[in-house]
């Protein structure tokens, strides 16, 4: 079982998906990349298939059903101890998962929250990873401290700013609501419950 399952929904992102995939595969070995092709009509599927030589990669194609269904499909297929939802036009900075891996193995944490940087195509290599906040019972005494730290660091509640223990998502029956805008809000409701339990 890998430590981290990276779930990447893909829909008509032929210009970006190779860079996103490579930014994951150039990290650690202790992960799986679950690509859910949400019925792309461009060359996204063919581009993704070029990475099947790597045994960490699996591709599942579904009829076009939207981001929420694609993420839920990926979550159902995940086997990792932790889950990370990544958009197919995002890029991880080199060393991102090495740092995350170290925190997950050395601290008793159920999740990690982090920031991101927005970039344009010209400077995409400079993307991501600002200071990492570990959400643990050992480090933080109460939920007020956790929320205060998160507010000070301006961490936004987006699916791709959290890595969460998969067993918690399963236990809490966390799923994305199909057919709605701002589907990350369902994740935000879970995150609120998650922090309240700490």
Structural domains of the chain, with CATH: 4-197 (3.90.550.10)
Tokens of 71: 């993420």
- pTM equals 0.77
User: What is the residue-level pLDDT of the chain in tens, covering all 198 positions?
Assistant: 999 999 999 999 999 999 999 999 999 999 999 999 999 999 999 999 999 999 999 999 999 999 989 999 999 999 999 999 999 998 888 898 998 888 888 887 888 877 666 666 544 333 333 333 444 444 444 444 544 454 444 445 566 677 888 988 888 777 777 665 545 555 545 554 554 444
CA-closest candidate to residue 139, choices 85, 186, 103: 103
DSSP 42-107: SSHHHHHHTTTTSTTEEEEEE-S--HHHHHHHHHHH--SSEEEE--TT--PPTTHHHHHHHHHHHS
- d(Cα 137, Cα 35) in Å, to the nearest integer? 32
């Amino acid at each position: 079982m890998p430590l981290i399952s990276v779930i990447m929904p893909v829909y008509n992102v032929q210009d970006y998906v190779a860079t996103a995939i490579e930014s994951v595969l150039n990290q650690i070995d202790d992960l799986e990349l679950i690509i859910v092709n949400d019925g792309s009509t461009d060359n996204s599927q063919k581009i993704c298939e070029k990475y099947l030589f790597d045994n960490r990669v699996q591709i599942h194609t579904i009829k076009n059903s939207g981001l929420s269904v694609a993420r839920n499909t990926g979550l159902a297929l995940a086997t990792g101890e932790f889950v990370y939802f990544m958009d197919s036009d995002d890029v991880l900075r080199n060393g991102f998962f090495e740092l995350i891996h170290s925190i997950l193995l050395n601290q008793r944490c159920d999740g990690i929250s982090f920031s991101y940087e927005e970039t344009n195509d010209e400077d995409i290599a400079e993307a991501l990873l600002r200071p990492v906040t570990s959400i643990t019972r050992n480090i933080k005494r109460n939920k007020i401290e956790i929320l205060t730290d998160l507010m000070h660091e301006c961490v936004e509640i987006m699916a791709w700013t959290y890595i969460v223990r998969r067993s918690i998502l399963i236990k809490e029956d966390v799923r994305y609501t199909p057919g709605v805008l701002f589907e990350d809000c369902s994740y935000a409701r879970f995150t609120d419950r998650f922090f309240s339990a700490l």
